[in-house]
Amino acid sequence: MTREFENKVAVVTGASRGIGKGIALELARNGANIAIVYRSEEEKARLVQAEIENMGQEVIVVKCDVSKSEDVARLHDSVMEKWGQVDFVINNAGIHQHLKSWELSEEDWHRVLDVNLTGAFLVTKAFTPHMLGKKAGRIVHISSCVAFTGTDHEVHYAASKGGLFSLAKSHALELAGHGINVNAIAPGYVETDMVVFDEVHPLDEVLETIPQHRLGQPQDIARAVKFLCSADSNYITGQVIHVNGGLIMY
Ligand code: NAP
């Protein structure tokens, strides 16, 4: 633990639980103040708030559906009102749905794309003018390894996660000359509410496919985010970091 992020402000979407919670705690442990963004689980978001306040950092908790531009505008105003600055934007909020492509309704398709891809676009767009003004900032999109491998049970999720790579690269090109780095992380299996094992996908079979023979933990992803927000990654932009215990290798 360092105080490297003292007086920095991070917006972490989907920080009420899972990977987003891990990211919020890791950045706070290193001195950042945190805007916890959640959609529905206020109680869980408040628990994360309490943990961060116990570390001595400032926190705001904002209910915001990242797919709705009016909510995102409110998120932007809340952060600016509290701190007048943002240093790190972590687009982590995401949903998925296990269905074959031919079973998906148009509504299913749009819901997943709206949250996972449009949400990252809207949140990034909201905070970019401020980062451009101060010529500094770090933006990290949480994608997925399925963007590289494809998946046979949720094409809309995989497409949204692939879109995040293109978004990261294009944002990186636009913003590289303005002191703003934009990167993506592609997690493998991480032990959260999102990942469910059953007779069709038994845990022991999944572990066989992972060279390190363990599921990732939220902190594994959070440490990569911390690196991408730190001075150690100053010369890294438009890249994807795979954090997956060796599940896929590029
Ligand atoms: P999770 O445990 O299901 O948590 C999802 C988080 O996103 C929750 O905090 C939820 O808030 C929030 N969220 C969902 N829809 C939202 C919306 N419309 N607006 C704002 N927040 C919203 O998922 P996770 O496993 O931590 O996943 C986090 C990210 O990592 C996702 O983008 C996911 O696709 C990606 N990922 C996960 C894995 C994995 O194995 N777990 C692998 C690869 C990539 P509420 O609780 O308030 O609803």
Angstrom distances, CA of residue 31 to CA of 3, 9, 26, 60, 183: 5, 9, 9, 15, 21
53: CA distance to ligand 1 center in Å? 22
pLDDT band of residue 155 (cuts 50, 70, 90) is: very high
pLDDT in tens, 16-32: 999 999 999 999 999 99
Q: What is the mean pLDDT of residues 189-201?
A: 91
Q: What is the mean pLDDT of residues 142-163?
A: 97
Q: Give the three-class secondary structure for 108.
A: helix
pLDDT in tens, 55-99: 999 999 999 999 999 999 999 999 999 999 999 999 999 999 999
* Other CB atoms within 10 A of residue 1 CB: 8
Mean of the per-residue pLDDT values for the chain? 97
Predicted pLDDT at 9: 98
Q: How far apart are CA 59 and CA 183, in angstroms?
A: 24
For strands 137-142 and 180-187, give the pairing: parallel
Phi, psi of 21 (to 5 degrees): -60, -45
Spatial CA neighbour of 225 closest among 52, 121, 35, 91: 91
- Domains of the chain by start residue, with CATH: 9-243 (3.40.50.720)
Give the whole-number percent of the chain exceeding pLDDT 90. Answer: 96
pLDDT band of residue 199 (cuts 50, 70, 90) is: confident
* Other CB atoms within 10 A of residue 233 CB: 18
pLDDT band of residue 204 (cuts 50, 70, 90) is: very high
User: Which residue from 192, 195, 206, 241 has its CB within 8 A of the most atoms of ligand 1, so it is best to mutate?
Assistant: 192
pLDDT band of residue 200 (cuts 50, 70, 90) is: confident
Q: What is the mean pLDDT of residues 160-189?
A: 98
pTM as predicted: 0.98
Predicted pLDDT at 2: 80
Give the whole-number percent of the chain exceeding pLDDT 70. Answer: 100
165: CA distance to ligand 1 center in Å? 17
pLDDT band of residue 1 (cuts 50, 70, 90) is: low
Amino acid at 108: D
Atom of ligand 1 at shortest distance to CA of 193? 2
Atom of ligand 1 at shortest distance to CA of 145? 43
Q: What is the mean pLDDT of residues 198-218?
A: 94
CB-based contact 228:129 (threshold 8 Å): no
18: CA distance to ligand 1 center in Å? 7
Atom of ligand 1 at shortest distance to CA of 66? 19
Predicted confidence (pLDDT) at residue 4 exceeds the cutoff of 90:
yes
